[in-house]
Amino acid sequence: MGQCTLFSADTSKSDKAQSFSDSFALPSHNITKGNKTSGGKATKQIKRLEALYDETCSFYLQSNLSRSIATALDRKRRPRISKLVLLGLGSLGTSRDQGRRIKQLVLFVALALFITSTSEPKEASVSLYVQDPMFDRTDEAFLQNMGFKVLHTPSPYQLGEAGDVIDDETLVYTPHLPLMAYKALLASSTQGAGGGDGVKGGLEDAMPVLMSDDFDGLRRKWDKQTEEFRDVEMLTKRLRGYGYRRRAIGAGGFWVEEDASFPMALYTKVVKVV
């Protein structure tokens, strides 16, 4: 992949801006790299994904989203983060949703780079995980070459291996989860919805930051008489019960109409001062 700096010039930490290079080898080595996939020359599909990925970086830099992220994840207000988990990305193969999914991947990497660039040295290393039951071999090869650890789940409605990874230093990004998966993620115990395991140990002390669909927007999506509306109401109350505060994320200039994107919000647990 070519060089792609993911911080706009007007951010306060622009002097620490990170850039992409082959296999996600960052200059500062702040991000824990996974094992490269074996084999020779990259396949045409992977090369195509790499090209799309690099092209998409500029859209992020030129958008209001990069500034919204910088404000929302200000170091003084955020909990310690050592892991980032991406759930619900979908396959990156050719489809009408490919452009949106590549953008979501760029956003995930941008979150990691911003956190590492604005953290104290002792907090500057993060591990990146991705999980989606729709990933095929090409997806996994591409993501592993970038340094991600690919997790697995038997169903889009279960947390699978991600439930064992998410802890009290994990930021979770969910660009496109079905409501049943949100039920598993926000389950009040280790037993998630639909018979799938939830977050190991429950959410009382886990997942301090969640970037997801804006649940206020989801409430407006369905009629009040529907089961979906009641589910969103329950999930919203559960977020409040865990102590999350909502912050809407402006994304002007990043998403286009063809992306059919949904409003996002950042949910952060209030840091308790001892």
CATH number for the domain including 179? Answer: 3.40.50
Q: What is the rounded CA–CA span in Å between residue 207 and residue 68?
A: 21
Q: What is the rounded CA–CA span in Å between residue 124 and residue 86?
A: 19
CB 267, CB 210: distance < 8 Å: yes
- Is the pLDDT confidence value at 115 over 70? yes
Domain count, the chain: 1
- Is the pLDDT confidence value at 244 over 90? yes
Rounded mean pLDDT of the chain? 78
Q: What is the pLDDT of residue 272?
A: 56
Q: What is the rounded CA–CA span in Å between residue 226 and residue 228?
A: 5
Q: What is the pLDDT of residue 19?
A: 41
b/e map 51-70, b = 16+ CB within 10 Å:
ebbbebbebbbebebbebbb
- Is the pLDDT confidence value at 188 over 80? no
Q: What percent of the chain has pLDDT over 90?
A: 37
Give the range of the structural domain holding residue 51, as residue numbers without chain letter: 43-269
Q: What is the rounded CA–CA span in Å between residue 126 and residue 170?
A: 9
| Comparison of pLDDT for 205 and 158, the residue scoring more | 158
- Convert the pLDDT of each residue in 33-70 to its tens digit: 344 444 444 578 888 888 888 888 877 877 888 888 88
- Is the pLDDT confidence value at 165 over 90? yes
> Average pLDDT of 6-24?
37
Cα distances (Å, whole numbers) of residue 159 to 26, 45, 143, 166, 199: 29, 28, 19, 10, 7
CB 152, CB 166: distance < 8 Å: no
Domain-located, residue 12: no
> Average pLDDT of 15-23?
36
Q: What is the pLDDT of residue 82?
A: 92
Domain-located, residue 9: no
Domain-located, residue 131: yes
Q: What is the pLDDT of residue 116?
A: 87
